[in-house]
């Protein structure tokens, strides 16, 4: 009690004055108050503290010291700032004015949340205090109170976490990711830094969720979140936007090589099988990538760019990543146009069936024709199936188109003068249609074709749905007498257990295994041998797809493929051409094509900029690979000349002329290009909008001509142009 009185400045009198009796009641009241305060402290309802003018602790309730777990003598006379740590957590509880500021300014402290230092477990107090001054106005210290708010704070923290994090996966939710992205972009503008945004969408998750129920779907999402966290680590923040959509924010990331590797790893790891309560689930993933400030400066702009990239990745076959580029806006508009016109393609009689021969592996005699759908647009000509088939699947048109194709192929094949087989592709979406057996049956009956001549090519992705329904569909189709073929084997969701139980008659070895198999060190030849051996053990035929060169032909024949297909024998031809070939009586296809496999070069035909000595020339790029390109448009450029190719969207590639013949040049890149995640190439880095801003332009996302925005060509007028431009028709444009 003596400690309590002295700490708050109440002192005993050594001598009693004449009015001692009158004051005895006041002392009694004071002692009563002190007893009440002591009872208040002992009950744990709150504590008191006091400091001297130098900020050292002169009083602290014994129960407070007990709560901290330290002796009172150890705490007294220590600076109070050593006891109370400021709240530095990034949340709504942080005080606008930290404790150090309030103490130095000698301001009143009101309900300030602080953390007690030196404790193993979190211990949070809410403190209040007022500065004290003597009669001369000299500061004498603080007198204050405190209470434990640890439980309250934890409860509020849990509530705040629930508002910011996804309850199912523990990842940040849509609202938190939106705030984090806005804060990151705002900070980037001040510090001239970058960040990357990845949008991730699961492929075929809905099928698993609908087939096995929401509990399985929820567990699958938890495992997906766990895999993403393992891949991303502490490099950024991961959020779940709802459903099967995820977002990843990576600060200080603009290296598209690194981001491409990350995107590819996400696709690969998320596509591995999942085990859920004894069930095996297989899904996929598509990723869209946008980078600030290159692709956007504000959240809506960057999210829109990443969303376009994701949509493009899904439209080009799913299971891949894609970087944003300005062409994607035009691509999205084209997809919308295609979807609209595709709805009327059948009624306008614009769909055509083409056929590619499948020949015997020994005699090269045609044994089957694979039916391939083509769309001859009335205004735009032939539109590639790789472009309109994914759109048809997304728009729900594939069942109608697929049903028409089955009817048309059976009708045409029934007219052939030679009763060879015909193969019809059935998409996974079409296979899920419970009416598929009936559609096939109706086509067989209406055409009168022998069911044994009809082969239905089905991809492995059909196995990720309802396994029981898949087996029933197989059984119903086999009852009709048609043959079943497993298409693109080994490229997606292979399972020997599925292969053992499914009634396939043939396995098609995907062309990705044939391509490059003759190169030294390539393991594809061993994979081909394994597939052929497996098919033989299961009494199934094999077809090696994509045979385009004679060395590939020799290899697949050596490895034992029973049937062959590819451009070396024939491209897909019209029905009239099939009728002419079959009617001629000559059913053997002689291989015609290059002798050896050559690594593919991406064919291009577009205008780009070539920069030399601050002059910009217009040239045409015809071939593009990771390490170089073929261009035309400049006359007699010396070998070893250093140039820069402006590939658009801020992509500047430093290159050296390694071949020069009149107006055609071959260039070698100083830094190899990288994959854009789809079927294209891009530079690892781009011109930064911050560089353009430093050149006197407003800060904005990249436009098509970043070189001009940088002030490219300024001052070039003082120097003559070194080369003469020629157009693609070899006409001289003249010297300026």
Whether pLDDT at 331 is above 90: no
Whether pLDDT at 184 is above 80: yes
Top-ranked range on mean pLDDT: pick from 311-325, 395-409, 463-477: 395-409
Q: What angle do CA 607, 611, 615 make, to 5 degrees?
A: 110
Pair (530, 609) in one structural domain: no
Residue 62: which pLDDT band, with cuts at 50, 70 and 90? Answer: confident
Lowest mean pLDDT among 463-477, 577-591, 635-649: 463-477
The crossing angle, in degrees rounded to 10, of helices 214-232 and 205-212 is 140
Pair (422, 528) in one structural domain: yes
Rounded Cα–Cα distance for residues 245 and 365 (Å): 50
Q: What angle do CA 339, 434, 495 make, to 5 degrees?
A: 90
Lowest mean pLDDT among 1-10, 157-166, 647-656, 695-704: 1-10
Token pair 């007219």 is found at: 415
Whether pLDDT at 570 is above 60: yes
Q: What angle do CA 176, 177, 183 make, to 5 degrees?
A: 90
DSSP per-residue string spanning 9-22: T----SS--TTHHH
**For residues 237-262, average pLDDT:** 95
**For residues 713-733, average pLDDT:** 64
Pair (361, 440) in one structural domain: yes
User: Which one, of 8, 314, 319, lies nearest residue 140 by Cα?
Assistant: 8
Q: How many domains does the chain have?
A: 4
Pair (508, 362) in one structural domain: yes
Pair (548, 662) in one structural domain: no
The crossing angle, in degrees rounded to 10, of helices 299-315 and 174-191 is 120
Rounded Cα–Cα distance for residues 103 and 139 (Å): 12
Residue 39 lies in a domain: yes
Residue 291 lies in a domain: yes
Contact 716, 612 (CB under 8 A): no
Whether pLDDT at 2 is above 70: no
- Sign of the Cα pseudo-torsion (94, 99, 104, 107, in order): positive
Residue 81, φ and ψ in degrees, nearest 5:
-65, -20
CATH number at residue 459: 3.20.20.450
Residue 699 lies in a domain: yes
Contact 277, 216 (CB under 8 A): yes
The rounded mean pLDDT for the chain is 85
Residue 7 lies in a domain: yes
Q: Coil, strand or helix: which one is 477?
A: helix
The crossing angle, in degrees rounded to 10, of helices 398-413 and 436-447 is 30
Residue 234 lies in a domain: yes
Q: What is the pLDDT of residues 687-713, one digit of tens each?
A: 999 988 888 888 888 876 777 777 766
Lowest mean pLDDT among 52-61, 86-95, 144-153, 539-548: 86-95
User: Which one, of 305, 254, 292, 327, lies nearest residue 700 by Cα?
Assistant: 292
Residue 383, φ and ψ in degrees, nearest 5:
-105, 125
Written in H, E and C, the secondary structure of 111-150 is EEEEEECCCCCCCEEEEEEEEEECCCCCEEEEEEEEEECH
**For residues 333-354, average pLDDT:** 90
**For residues 546-556, average pLDDT:** 92
Whether pLDDT at 314 is above 90: no
Residue 93: which pLDDT band, with cuts at 50, 70 and 90? Answer: very low
Pair (531, 626) in one structural domain: no
Percent of the chain with pLDDT over 70: 87
pLDDT of residue 679: 75
The tokens describing 36, both together, are 């009440």
**For residues 603-631, average pLDDT:** 88
Identify the domain boundary among 156, 186, 208: 156
Top-ranked range on mean pLDDT: pick from 8-17, 336-345, 557-566: 557-566
Contact 547, 566 (CB under 8 A): yes
According to DSSP, the β-strands at 724-725 and 634-635 are antiparallel
Written in H, E and C, the secondary structure of 243-262 is CCEEEEEEECCCCHHHHHHH
Identify the domain boundary among 534, 556, 584: 584
* Residue 702, number of CB atoms within 10 A of its CB: 23
Lowest mean pLDDT among 60-69, 84-93, 188-197, 265-274: 84-93
Q: Coil, strand or helix: which one is 694?
A: helix
Q: What is the pLDDT of residues 4-58, one digit of tens each?
A: 444 444 434 444 454 555 455 567 776 766 676 766 666 666 888 899 999 899 9
Pair (175, 303) in one structural domain: yes
Element (H, E) at 219: helix 214-232
Q: What is the pLDDT of residues 578-603, one digit of tens each?
A: 999 999 988 999 999 888 876 666 56
Pair (196, 94) in one structural domain: no
Q: Find the distance separating the first CA and the last CA of the chain, reported in whole Å.
A: 100
Residue 74 lies in a domain: yes
**For residues 282-303, average pLDDT:** 94
Please give the C-alpha separations between residue 153 and each of 43, 80, 95, 162, 306, in angstroms, as whole numbers.
21, 22, 14, 14, 38
Whether pLDDT at 160 is above 90: no
CATH number at residue 202: 3.30.70.270
**For residues 311-318, average pLDDT:** 84
Whether pLDDT at 436 is above 80: yes
**For residues 264-279, average pLDDT:** 91
Q: What is the pLDDT of residues 239-248, one digit of tens each?
A: 999 899 999 9
DSSP per-residue string spanning 559-586: TT-SEE-STTT---B-HHHHHHHHHHT-
In 393-547, DSSP assigns E strands to 421-426, 454-459, 483-489, 506-509, 541-544
Pair (179, 318) in one structural domain: yes
Residue 634: which pLDDT band, with cuts at 50, 70 and 90? Answer: very high
**For residues 281-301, average pLDDT:** 94
pLDDT of residue 188: 93
Q: Is 24 exposed, middle or buried (0-12, 13-18, 19+ CB in 10 A)?
A: exposed
pLDDT of residue 282: 84
Residue 520: which pLDDT band, with cuts at 50, 70 and 90? Answer: confident
Q: Is 217 exposed, middle or buried (0-12, 13-18, 19+ CB in 10 A)?
A: buried
Pair (576, 606) in one structural domain: no
Exposed e or buried b for every residue in 196-205, given b needs 16+ CB within 10 A? bbbbbbbbbb
Pair (540, 607) in one structural domain: no
**For residues 482-505, average pLDDT:** 76
Residue 384 lies in a domain: no
Contact 421, 454 (CB under 8 A): yes
In 264-403, DSSP assigns E strands to 274-276, 279-281, 284-292, 321-323, 351-360, 366-377, 381-383
Domain of residue 697, residue span? 602-725
The tokens describing 137, both together, are 């106005």
Identify the domain boundary among 105, 130, 156: 156
pLDDT of residue 14: 45
CATH number at residue 137: 3.30.450.20
Lowest mean pLDDT among 480-494, 614-628, 716-730: 716-730
User: Which one, of 440, 420, 445, lies nearest residue 430 by Cα?
Assistant: 440
Whether pLDDT at 350 is above 90: yes
Instruction: Please tell me which residue, 86 or 564, carries the higher pLDDT value.
Output: 564
pLDDT of residue 464: 66
CATH number at residue 608: 2.40.10
Lowest mean pLDDT among 66-80, 287-301, 314-328, 494-508: 494-508
Top-ranked range on mean pLDDT: pick from 31-45, 85-99, 195-209: 195-209
DSSP 492: S
pLDDT of residue 470: 83
Whether pLDDT at 121 is above 70: yes
**For residues 333-361, average pLDDT:** 91
pLDDT of residue 15: 47
pLDDT of residue 489: 79
Residue 152 lies in a domain: yes
Pair (149, 264) in one structural domain: no
């Amino acid at each position: 009690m003596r400690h309590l009185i002295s700490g708050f400045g109440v002192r005993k009198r050594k001598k009693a004055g004449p009015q001692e009796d009158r004051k005895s009641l006041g002392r009694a009241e004071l002692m009563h108050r002190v007893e009440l305060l002591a009872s208040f402290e002992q009950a744990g309802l709150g504590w008191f503290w006091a400091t001297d003018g130098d900020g050292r602790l002169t009083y602290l309730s014994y129960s407070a010291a007990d709560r901290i777990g330290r002796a009172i003598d150890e705490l007294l006379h220590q600076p109070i700032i050593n006891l109370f740590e400021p709240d530095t957590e990034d949340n709504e509880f942080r005080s606008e004015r930290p404790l150090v500021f309030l103490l130095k300014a000698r301001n009143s402290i009101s309900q300030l949340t602080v953390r007690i230092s030196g404790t193993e477990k979190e211990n949070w107090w809410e403190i209040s205090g007022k500065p004290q001054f003597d009669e001369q106005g000299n500061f004498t210290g603080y007198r204050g109170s405190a209470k434990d708010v640890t439980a309250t704070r934890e409860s509020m923290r849990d509530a705040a976490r629930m508002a910011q994090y996804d309850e199912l996966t523990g990842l940040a939710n849509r609202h938190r990711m939106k705030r984090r992205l806005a804060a990151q972009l705002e900070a980037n503008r001040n510090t001239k830094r970058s960040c990357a945004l990845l949008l991730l969408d699961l492929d075929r998750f809905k099928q698993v969720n609908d087939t096995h129920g929401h509990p399985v779907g929820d567990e699958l999402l938890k495992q997906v979140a766990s895999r993403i966290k393992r891949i991303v680590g502490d490099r950024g923040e991961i959020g779940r936007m709802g459903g099967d959509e995820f977002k990843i924010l990576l600060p200080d990331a603009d290296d598209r090589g690194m981001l491409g590797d990350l995107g590819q790893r996400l696709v690969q790891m998320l596509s591995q099988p999942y085990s859920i309560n004894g069930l095996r689930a297989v899904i996929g993933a598509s990723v869209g990538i946008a980078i600030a400030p290159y692709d956007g400066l504000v959240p809506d702009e960057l999210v829109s760019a990443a969303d376009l990239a994701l949509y493009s990745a899904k439209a080009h076959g799913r299971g891949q990543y894609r970087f944003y580029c300005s062409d994607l806006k035009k691509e999205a508009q084209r997809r919308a146009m295609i979807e609209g016109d595709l709805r009327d393609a059948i009624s306008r009689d614009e769909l055509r069936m083409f056929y590619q021969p499948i020949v015997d592996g020994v005699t090269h005699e045609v044994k089957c024709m694979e039916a391939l759908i083509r769309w001859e647009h009335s205004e735009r000509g032939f539109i590639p199936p790789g472009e309109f088939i994914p759109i048809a699947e997304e728009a729900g048109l594939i069942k109608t188109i697929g049903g028409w194709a089955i009817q048309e192929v059976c009708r045409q094949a029934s007219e052939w003068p030679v009763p060879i087989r015909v193969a019809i592709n059935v998409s996974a979406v079409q296979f899920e249609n419970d009416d598929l057996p009936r559609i096939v049956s109706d086509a067989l009956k209406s055409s009168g074709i022998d069911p044994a001549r009809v082969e239905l090519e089905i991809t492995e992705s059909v196995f990720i749905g309802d396994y029981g329904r898949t087996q029933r569909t197989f059984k119903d189709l086999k009852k009709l007498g048609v043959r079943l073929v497993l298409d693109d084997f080994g490229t997606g969701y292979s399972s020997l257990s599925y292969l053992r139980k499914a009634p396939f008659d043939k396995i098609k070895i995907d062309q990705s295994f044939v391509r490059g198999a003759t190169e030294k060190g390539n393991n594809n030849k061993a994979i081909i041998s394994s597939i052929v051996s497996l098919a033989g053990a299961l009494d199934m035929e094999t077809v090696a797809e994509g045979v385009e060169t004679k060395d590939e032909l020799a290899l697949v024949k050596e490895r034992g493929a029973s049937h062959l297909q590819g451009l070396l024998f024939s491209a897909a031809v019209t029905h009239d051409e099939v009728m002419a070939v079959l009617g001629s009586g000559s059913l053997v296809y002689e291989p015609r094509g290059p002798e050896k496999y050559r690594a593919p070069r991406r064919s291009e035909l577009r205008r780009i900029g070539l920069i030399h000595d601050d002059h910009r020339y217009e040239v045409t790029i015809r071939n593009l690979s990771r390490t170089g390109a073929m261009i035309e448009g400049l006359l007699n450029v010396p070998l070893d000349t250093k140039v820069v190719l402006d590939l658009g969207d801020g992509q500047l590639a430093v290159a050296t002329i390694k071949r020069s013949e009149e107006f055609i040049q071959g260039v070698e890149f100083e830094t190899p290009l990288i994959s854009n995640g789809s079927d294209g190439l891009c530079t690892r880095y781009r011109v930064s909008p911050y560089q353009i801003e430093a050149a006197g332009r407003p800060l904005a996302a990249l436009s098509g001509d970043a070189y001009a925005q940088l002030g490219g060509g300024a001052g070039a007028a003082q120097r003559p142009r070194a080369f003469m431009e020629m157009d693609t028709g070899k006409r001289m444009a003249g010297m300026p």
